[in-house]
Structure 1
Amino acid sequence: MISPITPVAKDMPLNVERLEQSFELVKGRGDEFTAQFYANLFSDYPLVKPLFANTHMEEQGKKLFASLVLVVDALRQPEVLESAVKGLGTRHVKYGVLPEHYPMVGGALLKTFESVLGTDWTADEKQAWADAYGAVSQLMLEGADYLPEVLSLSN
């Protein structure tokens, strides 16, 4: 099991070219990628499975992959990326997602990239995606606007 990753500062410089190039290798494999992602997420972090109890997983997989496409496509437009990602964070609050879930998703995401990319997954790709996920999750958390009582329940 890959350790969960922790959000980092959003102003950290990202390796945009490496992210774009590595994502290009998985772009045509969305169904495979998302199936592997959710298998990893539920296997490594079963406590998140109830969040998906009333979810149509095929549709959810398409949404996840569309979000990844959105992020990668907007890497060179930080203002567009920031707005879209903060909006994702806002929506995830109503799904029951808490701050402690973000590192779990990041761990499953890295594990999935490693699995799908195989020999094309290097330490540099891992670092680029860890940095990107950290920045994106930080923006999502900023957009989440959790009520204090929700946060106190999660601690």
Structure 2
Amino acid sequence: MSLQVEALEQSFEKIKPNADEFVSSFYENLFTANPEAKPLFGSTDMASQKKKLLASLVLVVENLRKPDTLSEALKGLGAKHVKYGALPEHYPLVGNALLTTFEQYLGADWTGEVKQAWVEAYGAITELMLSGADYSTEEVALDSPPEESPLAVELLETSFEKIKPQADEFVSSFYENLFTANPEAKPLFGSTDMASQKKKLLGSLVLVVENLRNPDKLTEALKGLGARHVKYGALPVHYPLVGNALLTTFEQYLGADWTGEVKQAWVEAYGAITELMLSGADYST
């Protein structure tokens, strides 16, 4: 796509005198249109975040005539944004807020031509950033696929039976362990009904254990769960954090029954669960 460089440069020049107000308005517009996005910034230094956004806009506009430099920079930015928790589905929300803010600040200068220039530019930016992002399952891959490494079903069943009498306390402790080890994850649950969330987690654990001997049903259920978790904002990088918190909680509640053999059974089970959930998730553009 050939971008309308002059229209982009000239319109951005008109924004520059009000650059700080522009980025503040951008976040106001983003959160007004998408209140569910606000918790993602719960632990973010917004003054620093606004500077980063402005620097990214300047980077884009100043390198419009250097496509190779810009392409590499945007791919790198896309890779970094995976670590910040950005999902492919967030990009259109950001784009809409950006266009709204341009319209707000450009006024009569926000012509059909200028709007089209920024729509095309943001489309190209998104494409490049997502091509640099990696939503693959590499970092949570199993040493061997589940079918080559059958799960220790009896150990999983008997150890979970010992948890059941304290199931409610178990799931509460899981979230305490998750947030203690990963305080940056807490804002993701800022607008979540935690009582309902704990019931869902317990329901998912019961679903897994009760269907260990029914692999076809379990496979479909976990793929569906993975697809739903994309909508909740779950990223591939979140799965190891959840796994670590889950193992910590099992150890806490099983005590002397948390043997090396039982631990290995749950490590393998969580690896298989992760693989199936991620195979059901769709992080494509």
Please give the TM-score of this superposition, normalised by the length of structure 1.
Answer: 0.88
Count how many residue pairs are aligned between Structure 1 and Structure 2.
144
58, 67, 88: which is aligned to 2:77?
A: 88
Give the conservation status (yes or no) of the 8 Å contact 2:74–2:129.
yes
In the other structure, the counterpart of 1:47 is: 36
Give the conservation status (yes or no) of the 8 Å contact 1:30–1:62.
no
In the other structure, the counterpart of 2:67 is: 78
Counterpart of 1:29, as a letter, is N
- Residue 28 of structure 1: CA displacement? 2.1
Give the conservation status (yes or no) of the 8 Å contact 1:88–1:140.
yes
Alignment of 1:109-148 (within 5 A): 109-148=98-137
95, 100, 103: which is aligned to 1:106?
A: 95
Give the conservation status (yes or no) of the 8 Å contact 1:18–1:128.
yes
C-alpha distance in structure 2 between counterparts of 1:154 and 1:83, whole Å = 21
51, 55, 66: which is aligned to 1:66?
A: 55
In the other structure, the counterpart of 1:19 is: 8
- Residue 49 of structure 1: CA displacement? 1.2
Give the conservation status (yes or no) of the 8 Å contact 1:51–1:97.
no
C-alpha distance in structure 2 between counterparts of 1:50 and 1:94, whole Å = 16
C-alpha distance in structure 2 between counterparts of 1:27 and 1:124, whole Å = 20
C-alpha distance in structure 2 between counterparts of 1:90 and 1:53, whole Å = 21
Farther off after superposition, 49-58 or 84-93? 49-58
Farther off after superposition, 116-125 or 144-153? 144-153
Farther off after superposition, 24-33 or 99-108? 24-33
Alignment RMSD (CA, Å) = 1.6
Counterpart of 2:58, as a letter, is V
Give the conservation status (yes or no) of the 8 Å contact 2:75–2:132.
yes
- Residue 153 of structure 1: CA displacement? 6.8
Farther off after superposition, 127-136 or 141-150? 141-150
Q: Which has the larger radius of gyration?
A: 2
Q: 1:115 to 1:47 in 2, by over 3 A?
A: same
C-alpha distance in structure 2 between counterparts of 1:143 and 1:18, whole Å = 26
C-alpha distance in structure 1 between counterparts of 2:17 and 2:123, whole Å = 24
C-alpha distance in structure 1 between counterparts of 2:103 and 2:40, whole Å = 25
Counterpart of 1:36, as a letter, is S
- Residue 154 of structure 1: CA displacement? 6.3
C-alpha distance in structure 2 between counterparts of 1:33 and 1:102, whole Å = 19
The structure with higher relative contact order (CA 8 Å, sep 6+) is: 1
Give the conservation status (yes or no) of the 8 Å contact 1:37–1:109.
yes
- Residue 111 of structure 1: CA displacement? 0.2
